[in-house]
Structure 1
Amino acid sequence: MDSLTHIALGACIGEAFFEKGFGKKAMFWGALAQSIPDVDFISSTWLNTSEALLAHRGFTHSILFALIIIPIFALTADRIHRPHNIAFRTWILFFAAEVFVHLFIDGFNNYGVGWLEPFTHARYSFNTIYVADPFFSIWPGIAFFMLIILNAYSPKRTFWWKVGVIIPFIYLGYCTINKLKINHDVKEIFATQHIPHERYFTTPAPLQNWLWYVVAGNDNGYYVGFRSLFDRRKYINFQYFPRNDSLLKAVANHEDLQKLIRFSQQFYTIEKYSDTLVFNDLRFGQIIGWENPKERFVFHYYLQHPEDNKLVVQRGRFEKWDWQIVKGLLRRIEGN
């Protein structure tokens, strides 16, 4: 999830653990602990783009990192707040909840999380919720605001931390049901439309959980399309994108190429833009693809101009968006 959501959710969990006056201090510790796995963003200051892509949500999002950082936080908080009547076990449970909730919910996005680093470089992702979903984030955000302004001993604080913690996880469960429904539908569609594939994934289109982006294919290429939960026809208007591995002969020794292939989990295509080869990671979606099925992919990396690859994951996320595009997204969500 995005950083602001982690901060707000962490603060609400802190309030839930301690309440009764200590809650606002716990909110600070909760926000800090919930954010600590994202300390890996610092690595982008010395790593090149392809290395930073693999570093993000890597070791600092691993179970091993959690087991190291949790007692460090617990010992620090226990010492800073002496004298107190909080058992050390409570500190451990509190920081464990914060850190593991971060690792858990990040796994529901499409970036992939290295839970078992450094023992394996496998990335785990459920592709269930968009990385910035306002329907998930608004509840901890509102609760965080209310907990900040309420008196430390207000009886209303219990209600608000429940809003900030329970409702987002109910929504996450709803998103999981949506995911199962979409996967069931697309498997039927693959069969009826004769879509050849060795691998596939479904993930939400931006900012909601009703329109889903679908990619299926093999080493030759991928079929890309969108399906709404409200579509009445069991049909997807797929566009085919060849993988074009043959184009990679010109850059076979490129230092970033193997890192990008590993990062993409094989969901990639190669294109030529003007004078450079472009590596597309299909997992991050297509720029307004529900409007223009042949649009570029959000993640496109210039293999022969690496200096132009800053913020590569974010480059096209909301490119070309305007009010007409938003209305088109809403219409597509309504179904066809």
Structure 2
Amino acid sequence: MVIKASLLPAIFLLVYGHTLSANKLDSLTHMALGACLGEITAGKRLGKAALLMGAVAGNLPDLDVLAALWLRPAANLLAHRGFTHSFTGIALVTMLLAFMMNKWHQRNMQYRHWVWFIGSQLLLHIVIDACNAYGTGWWEPFNHTRVSFNLLFVADPLFAIAPFIATLILLVKHGSYLRRKPIAAVALSCCLLYVVQAIVCKAVINTRFNRQLSTIPGNTVQRYFTTPSPFNTWLWYVVAETGSGYYTGYMSVFDGKAGMPLHYFPRNNQLLRGVRDTTELRHLLRFSKGYYTIVPVENYFVFNDLRFGQAGGWYDAAAPFSFHYYIQSPEGNMMVLQRGRFAGWSWPVLRSLWQRIRGT
């Protein structure tokens, strides 16, 4: 069976997308990064155990997902990537775990070695998380501002592939630390280079989008943001806020010089007058950073957070937003992010994504 080269990216995205059903690949990415970093920081002293311990340590901040067992969905949105993803939180956890590991597992590792091993894992985790749109509470509990650099989609195969391959090689490869360390170092270097090229792509998109903002009627843009579309850093979702709503669109770094059409969504703030002011609603407003629309559906309202893009928005400008929250029906908001972010993927959708990435 011969597969056309042009279909290979779509095949890779399809396989990759289907493994993402519960945001599992985000955890797998952290595990692979943690394993590679563990090899570099402790492989000499721990051997292959550094891979396993690094993979575990690389995911520790995400234990905050357990808060979903007792918190309401809106509150859980802010609890996730909150204190456990702050510099204060990782400092406390690092010192505590380093003390415990130094007491129970003294094999060639002193306290300072454990501090370096655990601290570097946790720091890498919160830096990577800050690269996507969700927002990370670096400054908790002293400041509730959440950091979002909007450089990577939450699961990007091109970012993750190098540490995955390196981890598999390191698991089966025998030899001295000096022969194993370069494999992990190359994998992490590839990730760093990928982030650098994402910064370059974002700069290109921002420059083009800034030029196009002057064409918006009334030139009333108050602020804007750009963030990658699923699984790549070449097609970007762009949003410009005006006084009453938002202009959204998708721009590829391979597009021609002509500006892309933008679609307008009214904020519909007036609809909130009919909604009781609740802690849940205040959580949603804070979580969205003010990028939201309210849409009436049957006998209730839907809160859309624009930061997470649209489900297939690159081929349907009026596509629904990935993050949608039923204000008067909180029991229907379980897995609120995953249900929209990874819903509806199919061959036609992936082909349209690949075609749009290639530019117009």
Return the letter of the residue paired with 1:236: M
8 A contact 1:216–1:224 mirrored in 2: yes
Q: 1:154 to 1:17 in 2, by over 3 A?
A: closer
Name the residue aligned to 1:93: 116
Q: Kindly indicate whether residue 86 of structure 2 is the aligned counterpart of residue 57 of structure 1.
A: no
Name the residue aligned to 1:282: 306
| Matched positions, count | 335
Match of 1:123, SS state, is coil
Name the residue aligned to 2:187: 164
Q: Kindly indicate whether residue 77 of structure 2 is the aligned counterpart of residue 42 of structure 1.
A: no
Q: Give the distance between the partners of 2:100 and 2:242, measured in 1 at CA.
A: 50
Name the residue aligned to 1:120: 143
8 A contact 1:201–1:214 mirrored in 2: yes
Match among 174, 177, 183 for residue 206 of structure 2: 183
Q: What is the CA deviation profile of residues 85-142 of structure 1, one whole-angstrom value per residue up to 9, with x for unaligned ones?
A: x343222122221111111111110000000111111111000110100001111111
Query: Which range moved further: 183-192 or 262-271?
Result: 183-192
Q: Give the distance between the partners of 2:57 and 2:146, measured in 1 at CA.
A: 22
Q: What is the CA deviation profile of residues 6-34 of structure 1, one whole-angstrom value per residue up to 9, with x for unaligned ones?
A: 11111110101133462312222212221
Name the residue aligned to 2:20: none
8 A contact 2:206–2:226 mirrored in 1: yes
8 A contact 1:24–1:152 mirrored in 2: no
- Please report how far the alpha carbon of residue 158 of structure 1 lies from its aligned counterpart in structure 2 after TM superposition: 2.4
Instruction: Please give the residue correspondences for 1:146-165 in structure 2 after superposition, counting only pairs within 5 Å.
Output: 146-151=169-174, 153=176, 156-165=179-188
Match of 1:253, SS state, is coil
Q: 1:200 to 1:318 in 2, by over 3 A?
A: same
TM-score (norm 2): 0.89
Q: Which structure would you say has the larger RCO, counting Cα contacts within 8 Å and 6 or more residues apart?
A: 2
Note the aligned Cα RMSD (angstroms). Answer: 1.6
Q: % of aligned pairs identical? A: 42
Instruction: Please give the residue correspondences for 1:1-336 in structure 2 after superposition, counting only pairs within 5 Å.
Output: 2-20=26-44, 22-84=46-108, 86-151=109-174, 153=176, 156-194=179-217, 195-336=219-360
Q: What is the CA deviation profile of residues 28-77 of structure 1, one whole-angstrom value per residue up to 9, with x for unaligned ones?
A: 22122211111100000000000000000001000110110111221222
TM-score (norm 1): 0.95
Match of 1:109, SS state, is coil
Q: Give the distance between the partners of 2:128 and 2:94, measured in 1 at CA.
A: 18
- Please report how far the alpha carbon of residue 193 of structure 1 lies from its aligned counterpart in structure 2 after TM superposition: 4.2
Return the letter of the residue paired with 1:106: D
Q: Give the distance between the partners of 1:75 and 1:296, measured in 2 at CA.
A: 49
Q: Give the distance between the partners of 2:47 and 2:39, measured in 1 at CA.
A: 5
Structure 1 unaligned segments of length 5 or more: list them: none
